[in-house]
């Protein structure tokens, strides 16, 4: 039996409202047109679907059977159409995201390369923003979501943690820490330090550590970019306090990277959205990929020791010409 979907939809409207008038208003058609379509459906099926009086419209037994089946059928059809639309959107969509500069310059390019292979027609606008600027962009809906550190005292935002990023000290070799395995926060406070001024997340961690250790940091230079920090540390101007994720892939023989202890310092990295926000299908797929790929395998103790030895050997080569 070939049943016209338009007739079935009209039947559902009348059945849901128990009114031809309400069905006509909702479908933006005349009441006579609605009545005619229901009558056509009844003729196709060979049964009456409604009992009509001057005041009421009620389903017949056959109408109740059809209503149950029609709801399921239309629901399945709508689900299928949504899935098809989602596939099309995923292939021809656009997304915009904010990312902490340290992540944008290290982990994000490889992840986007993998994402592009699955969704080659998706275009993306990437904004490299510090923590507070990222929250502003999310609040103003300038971006779909953010990738960055947890920011304290921001209850209007939802933070989904993905990884813990250790905060290290990047110290010039001539400061005398070439053989060290770590540096205590109190020792760090005695060195001239290089810090990034626009990272509220790291600043909060440093403030807490100063209170715990009972010391005050000797901040010599304040900059806005981690790359500037690292370059100034390599020039011997001070020790840079940087997240491990931002450390250069190739070790600089002029520097040694040490974990900070007593207390240890770290920050949480995750996905930031407004509370209650629903992401688009393409944004959801990218977030899922970020959750899988953002975390890099940590170096084991042996690898860390080998890397430190290699840096010392390179430093001796540079020193001795």
At 248, the pLDDT band (50, 70, 90 cuts) reads confident
Strands 219-223, 193-196: pairing kind: parallel
Residue 209 has pLDDT above 90, yes or no: yes
Q: Is this structure's pTM higher than 0.85?
A: no
Q: What is the pLDDT of residue 298?
A: 41
Cβ atoms < 10 Å from Cβ of 30? 10
Residue 100 has pLDDT above 50, yes or no: yes
d(C-alpha 242, C-alpha 299), whole Å: 17
At 311, the pLDDT band (50, 70, 90 cuts) reads very low
Residue 300 is given by DSSP the state P
Q: What is the pLDDT of residue 74?
A: 85
Extract long-range pairs of 135-143: CB within 8 Å, 24+ residues apart.
135/272, 137/98, 138/98, 138/272, 138/273, 138/274, 139/274, 142/96, 142/98, 143/96, 143/97, 143/98
Name the residue among 167, 190, 161 with its Cα closest to residue 273. Answer: 161
Q: What is the pLDDT of residue 310?
A: 44
Domains contained in the chain, CATH given: 5-90 (1.10.10.10), 96-320 (3.40.190.290)
Q: Tell me, rounded to whole angstroms, the distance of Cα 276 from its chain centroid.
A: 14
Residue 321 has pLDDT above 60, yes or no: no
Provide the 3-class DSSP secondary structure of residue 164.
strand
Gyration radius (Cα) of the chain, Å: 31
Q: Tell me, rounded to whole angstroms, the distance of Cα 238 from its chain centroid.
A: 34
């Amino acid at each position: 039996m070939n049943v016209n979907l338009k007739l079935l939809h009209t039947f559902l409207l009348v059945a849901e409202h128990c009114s031809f008038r309400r069905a006509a208003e909702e479908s933006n058609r005349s009441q006579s047109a609605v009545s005619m379509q229901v009558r056509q459906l009844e003729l196709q099926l060979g049964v009456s679907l409604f009992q009509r009086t001057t005041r009421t419209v009620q389903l017949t037994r056959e109408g109740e059977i059809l209503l149950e089946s029609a709801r399921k059928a239309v629901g399945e059809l709508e689900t299928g159409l949504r899935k098809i639309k989602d596939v099309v959107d995923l292939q021809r969509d656009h997304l915009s995201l904010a990312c902490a500069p340290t992540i944008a310059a290290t982990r994000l390019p490889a992840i986007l390369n993998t994402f592009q292979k699955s969704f080659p027609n998706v275009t993306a606008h990437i904004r490299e923003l510090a923590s507070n600027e990222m929250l502003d962009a999310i609040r103003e809906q300038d971006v779909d979501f953010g990738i960055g550190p947890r920011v304290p005292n921001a209850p209007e935002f939802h933070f989904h943690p993905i990884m813990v990023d250790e905060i290290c000290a990047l110290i010039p070799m001539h400061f005398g820490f070439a053989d060290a395995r770590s540096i205590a926060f109190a020792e760090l406070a005695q060195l001239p330090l290089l810090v990034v001024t626009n990272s509220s997340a790291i600043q909060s961690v440093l403030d807490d550590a100063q209170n715990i250790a009972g010391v005050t940091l000797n901040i010599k230079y304040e900059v806005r970019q981690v790359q500037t920090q690292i370059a100034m540390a390599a020039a011997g101007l001070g020790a840079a306090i940087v997240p491990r994720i931002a450390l250069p892939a190739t070790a600089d023989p002029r520097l040694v990277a040490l974990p900070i202890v007593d207390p240890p310092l770290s920050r949480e990295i995750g996905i930031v959205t407004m509370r209650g926000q629903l992401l688009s299908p393409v944004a959801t797929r990218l977030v899922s990929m970020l959750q899988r790929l953002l975390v890099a395998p940590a170096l084991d103790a042996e690898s860390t020791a080998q890397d430190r030895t290699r840096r010392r050997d390179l430093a001796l080569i540079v020193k001795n010409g």
